[in-house]
Amino acid sequence: MSTEPSTDYPTIRLLPKAEARAIRHGFPWVYCDELVMDRRTKALAPGTLAVLEDAERRPLGLAAVNPLSRIVARVIDRDPEAVVDQAWFAARIGAALALRERLYDAPFYRLAHAEADGLPGVVIDRFGAAAVVQPNAAWAESRLEALVAALVEVTGVETVVKNGSGRVRGLEGLPEETLMLQGALEGPVPVPMNGATYMADLTGGQKTGLFYDQRPNHAFAAGLAKGGRVLDVFSHVGGFALAALAAGAESALAVDGSEPALALAEAGAEASGLAGRFATRKGDAFDTLAALGAEGAQFELVVCDPPAFAPSKSALDAGLRAYERVARLAAGLVAPGGYLVLCSCSHAADLAKFRAASARGIGKAGRRGQILYTGFAGPDHPVLPHLAESGYLKALAFRLTE
């Protein structure tokens, strides 16, 4: 556990061209081309804490440094003399917990949403008495013992899983690994949400095991599904499908390329008492959408919630074409007067670009529609106003009028 004495912090300094005002106003990142990368700074070990100074050597705060990353520094405290120990983590987690306990009646939510909760690069999802921690930045990885001790102290969780997977850890030079840090699990964890029960695999599933961010969008889409047939594409563990069935949909078909995810969806349907109206279909989403179209299948509600097709600016054009293709294939499956819900978790594709790509796809399918709803991640995924990346999720609900 690393807790550098405040008097011994090294210093790092912005280049004159860097925008110190943005840092002062709350932007938390410093890119490698904005910092003086002298020999001393390059020699700092990933995760080292340092006092960040502007070009005139005025302190801006305490930052975590990783010379291996394009985001070379992350501001973690406005106090340049802060001591990052278990008490520091407990204060941050306690503030995050107070918000979630005001928002939710049961302890199933995203507890810490990285920069937006003052814990840059750290994601914590809570599943009742268990929690999954994603330390996606070197500074958190090197202080994981203090972080987990604070998490247990503040929340009382009995089981803690470290999920060290994903693209972001690779960018930080961190290895991929999933570890049981405390307690034990006997199998998937049942999660009550929107009237259904979802089964979350905390050690072998995608991300932390469940996508809490879609909770309000699940609820809105479910309201459109009453009495109708539902198609949930890229369904993972049945997010939209199970919520729709719980709200009174006639039937739901979940499509995903992962057999384990569909098995969890089936287990969730069984636990929810919905298995008789629920079916799954394993396959590539694009191929399955095309096949359903060839079969003449029709649904009153079609939902497509794909992975990030545009995870970076360099992938934006290809990602937008993929979103357009999804919209085109899905629109043809919507029954007259039915509804189409399209989602994107690509922060590089902003709402306007995603909406335009979706509209083009619907138009190319020979359909027309109206937007009823624009959704985002739930309030347990707060957005840092200065950091667009923290507001990544978009959902659009269309009523197809022709």
Residue pair 126/101 in contact (Cβ under 8 Å)? The answer is no
- Rounded CA-CA distance 268/317 in Å is 36
- Rounded CA-CA distance 160/184 in Å is 8
Catalytic-role residue among 32, 304, 343, 345: 345
Residue pair 384/390 in contact (Cβ under 8 Å)? The answer is yes
For residue 375, CA distances in Å to 194, 299, 355, 362, 368 come to 16, 22, 12, 19, 20
Q: Strand ranges (DSSP E) for 83-172? A: 108-113, 122-127, 130-135, 159-164
Residue pair 61/23 in contact (Cβ under 8 Å)? The answer is yes
For residue 118, count other CB atoms closer than 10 A to its CB. 21
Asked if 345 is an active-site residue, the reply is yes
Helix and strand totals (H; E) in the chain: 12, 19
Known catalytic residues are 345
